[in-house]
Amino acid sequence: MTAPISPSGTLQTSTVDLGARFPNVVSADSRPGYKGWMIPKENLVEVATAIRAEFGFDLLSSLTAVDYFPENKMEVVYHAYKTTGGPGLVFRH
């Protein structure tokens, strides 16, 4: 499966609004240069289950971690896709 690429050459991400589905739990990643959704670790299973069952993202293509060493913090990043095609969905905690 090939991830959709925008005309600017960047990976296209989904237009799914997890914030509307999980108000006061999930938030859009507002950091400059980042796209996707921020999910508190205590809500990960609930939100990931909905991403699969309700939104149809049935392929987890990658799961990785980012070590923000100077901040003494780590972040887990997930990239999900639909095997039927379309843009991907990025979520983190």
Q: CATH fold of 18-92, please? A: Beta Polymerase; domain 2 (3.30.460)
State the Rg of the chain over Cα.
13
The model's pLDDT over 67-84, given as tens digits with 9 standing for 90+, comes to 999 999 999 999 999 999
pLDDT-derived band at 1, boundaries 50, 70, 90: very low
Residues 12-31: what's their mean pLDDT?
86
Domain boundaries, the chain: 18-92
pLDDT at 16: 87
CA distance 73 to 68: 5
The model's pLDDT over 22-69, given as tens digits with 9 standing for 90+, comes to 999 999 999 999 889 999 999 999 999 999 999 999 999 999 999 999
